[in-house]
Amino acid sequence: MQIGLLEPDGFSPKALSRLAGIGSVVAYDGNHLARFLSDKDALFVRLAHRIDGPFIAQAPKLTALCSPTTGLTHIDLDALSARGIALLSLKGETGFLERIRATPEHALGLTIALLRNYRTAFLNETNAHWDRDRCRGEELYGAAVGIIGFGRVGRRVAAYMAAFDAKVGWHDPHVKGADVGLRYGTVDELIAASRVIILAASYEPGAPFVLGRPQIDALRGKYLVNIARGELIDEDALLEAIEDGQLAGCAVDVISNEVGGNHRARWLATIRDHNVIVTPHIGGATFTSMEATEEFLAEKLIAFCAARANGPARRAPA
């Protein structure tokens, strides 16, 4: 079996050792992608590539695609299905994911960075103003924090916020009750009651915006943090609101269509004049979490291969 690592930098040595037991593991060196993909039976990806029909066509032997993510916006699921390629991901792996804390920690960090105006306060050679008054911000203590999406990440963020004595509220149509925070029946009600809104909802392709233009209009004077998926928001409406100075601050770890035509340049331009923080989808990018997920996916691939090998025996031709 030929196993390819499309983004091999820092790949878990333990996962490499386990994978070597079922095949030959080859790391992509950044050159001649079609040649690299041509003989791969299994492929480990991260987030730098759009896995669509033209990409998959370059991998005629591919039977398994491994993605260490719960969100799958970088993958054309229909194209995978049409080829009969198995997708091994973290989606639905709730037991394992309970010990992966990188994304909720990043949500906490982004929230504090917005409230404390770190964009201005972090000094360097081009930002040398020793002036504490221009950096004054707000505290989490006593702040009304609304969380949209109360799954694994949302619940963990709520616990972190509660530890700071923030007033936690949340909305999730699929969750009826929780030990932390006050449940709101609609997104609009949650926004109206909150000073800080954190988007932690899951995304399904084709679903309507969670934050459309009416909800973005209601964010005037508030803070927004998105550590979920850019596709959950009407991004044009949000950028217009930021450019018009309507939000107190906005931090995003995700944008729409990250590996295709997108508004990255427009996002970065907003940083010059507004309280905006943009990070390159680093929510899950810690050594601890990435090693753990790669090792978990290696075991999933090993189990997948064993199941295929031990499948129903084919009847011999008559």
Tell me, what's the pLDDT at 317?
41
* pLDDT tops 60 at residue 226: yes
Q: Which of 8, 44, 49 is nearest to 300 (CA)?
A: 44
pLDDT digits (tens, 9 = 90+) for 165-178: 999 999 999 999 88
In percent, the amount of the chain with pLDDT more than 70 equals 98
Q: Are 169 and 147 in contact (CB under 8 A)?
A: yes
Which ranges constitute the DSSP H helices of the chain? 13-20, 33-37, 53-57, 77-83, 94-97, 102-115, 118-121, 152-163, 187-193, 213-217, 235-243, 264-270, 287-309
Q: Are 9 and 47 in contact (CB under 8 A)?
A: no
Phi and psi at residue 66, to the nearest 5°: -110, 120
What's the CATH class of domain 101-278?
A: alpha beta
pLDDT digits (tens, 9 = 90+) for 230-276: 999 999 999 999 999 999 999 999 999 998 889 999 999 999 999 99
pLDDT digits (tens, 9 = 90+) for 268-299: 999 999 999 999 999 999 999 999 999 999 99
Tell me, what's the pLDDT at 315?
42
Tell me, what's the pLDDT at 93?
95
Predicted model pTM: 0.90
What's the CATH class of domain 2-95+286-309?
A: alpha beta
In percent, the amount of the chain with pLDDT more than 90 equals 91
In angstroms, rounded to a whole number, what is the distance separating the alpha carbons of residues 139 and 162? 13
Three-state SS for 164? Answer: coil
Residues in CB range of 232: below 8 A, 6 or more apart: 199, 201, 203, 209, 210, 211, 226
Q: Residue 204: which region, alpha, beta or left (left: phi > 0; alpha: psi -120 to 50)? A: beta
Computed over every residue of the chain, the mean pLDDT equals 95
Q: Which of 55, 57, 49 is nearest to 73 (CA)?
A: 49
Tell me, what's the pLDDT at 177?
85
Q: Which of 262, 269, 270, 281 is nearest to 241 (CA)?
A: 270
Matching fold, domains 2-95+286-309 and 101-278: yes
* pLDDT tops 80 at residue 112: yes
Residue whose entry in the numeric block shows the structure tokens 């969750």: 175
Tell me, what's the pLDDT at 318?
35
First CA to last CA distance, the chain: 30
Q: In what order do the strands lie in the sheet with 167-171?
A: 182-183, 167-171, 144-148, 196-199, 223-226, 249-252, 276-278
In angstroms, rounded to a whole number, what is the distance separating the alpha carbons of residues 196 and 198? 7
* pLDDT tops 50 at residue 139: yes
* pLDDT tops 50 at residue 19: yes
pLDDT digits (tens, 9 = 90+) for 175-196: 998 899 999 999 999 999 999 9
Q: Give the pLDDT band of residue 312 (cuts 50, 70, 90).
A: low
Q: Are 248 and 79 in contact (CB under 8 A)?
A: no
Cβ atoms within 10 Å of 146's Cβ, excluding its own: 26
* pLDDT tops 50 at residue 313: no
In angstroms, rounded to a whole number, what is the distance separating the alpha carbons of residues 203 and 208? 9
Residues in CB range of 166: below 8 A, 6 or more apart: 140, 141, 142, 143, 144, 145, 196
In angstroms, rounded to a whole number, what is the distance separating the alpha carbons of residues 158 and 318? 63
- The residue extents of the domains of the chain are 2-95+286-309, 101-278
